Structure 1
Amino acid sequence: MARRTEPTRQRVIEAAADLLAREGREAVTTRAVAAAAGVQPPAIYRHFADMDGLLDAVAEHGYARFLEAKQAVVRPDDPVEDLRAGWDLAVEFGLANPALYATMYGEPRRGTDSAAFRTGMEILLGRIRRLAAAGRLGVDERLAAALIHATARGAVLTWLSLPEDRRDPALLTAMRESMVTAVTTEKPAVREPGPAGAARALRAVLPERTALSEAEQRLLGEWLDRLAGDGEHPHQASG
């Protein structure tokens, strides 16, 4: 009874995703999806403009499943280990769902407007910001996100392209550690957590920053001095 009352659009998406997982992309035809969803073929086109539209929805469904997996795990306290764990989770999802993964990432922009994709990106950016707060982020946040995505996708697609007897887990470990090396610093750039430590670290190298004018350096220096004192205004400190 629950299946009958389930919205038709969702039934069609889940039927297409199931066919994709069991039989591959070639099995996802209008006739096969309609039969699996228990609807007439014209009903599909009342919800999706064409098969590409249906596949876009299947990709969104995949991002939602991946998001559930992300939210279910217990995250390590160490931000670098958290980065490794997140990368491993992404790769494991791709290896466990090869056809769905190919649909999600086969088209560069497919499914990226979905709420699940955006939430997943916020989780990734949260991991990157944890690295930055600990003084362990070695590159710009956007570059870090691109490197993490690129290495995870490359790892999955390369693994799946290999004959089974040539799939060496050392490949995945090497690619993950290459990503960690590219994104992080070996030692914390900041010795203590929070804005005060970060401000002191930046204040120490400020004179070396030739991109700023003297006036800009003075203004930034004043702001950093405040932050280094945990936000206390210089005049308040003496009172």
Structure 2
Amino acid sequence: MRILIADDDPQILRALRITLAAHGYEVTTASDGRAALEAASRTHPELVVIDLGMPGLTGVEVIQAIRGWSAVPILVVSGRTESWDKVEALDAGADDYVVKPFAIEELLARLRALGRRSAPAEEAPVVSFGDVVVDLAARVVTRDGRSVRLTPTEWRLLEVLLRSPGRLVSREHLLTEVWGPQYTRDTGYLRLYFSQLRRKLEVDPSNPVHLVTEPGMGYRFAE
């Protein structure tokens, strides 16, 4: 199982990397918030372990960002013991919270529980809307029975939206997911590529009903 560990304490990061790798996890590490978000978008972890007090972006900000496009289980591991810290993290989208210092046996048990809760992944391999059918596994798109050719970038944008049906996916998350964290301000890319996708997939591209823009925030897939 792929796991992302984000913590700015190098000793904790090293200890968790060694321990979790020894228990069969495929481990990726990050030492600050921006690196954590980039690693999450690049590696698509099946579990995330994250500290709250990181530089760059806080743990809560990273959780909120990940929740814009992923339902991956997130375990917070933090030295903060106040109730409001826990509430803030859980409200942001974390699934569980462990206070430092912790026993490694407890951490492993929490991870096993989260892993059971999330598996198997329930992702529809085929998504239909209007006269369009998208086979996510085969990476094939048809419209009214005819094949539609998408560029790799168009496909990736469409896939990100389809895997979060009905949920707002922010512009920053889409840019990070498709182009990388260094492009989070290049919203012109999104306007261009969504215009192309709508011409290919919407009945009336100027009035889209499935690939919807949320002004000032991002995009949403409406079935």
Fold shared, TM-score > 0.5 on shorter chain: no
Structure showing greater radius of gyration is 1
Higher strand share: 2
Q: TM-score, normalised by structure 1?
A: 0.25
Q: Which has the higher contact order (CA 8 A, sep 6+)?
A: 1
Q: TM-score, normalised by structure 2?
A: 0.26
Higher helix share: 1
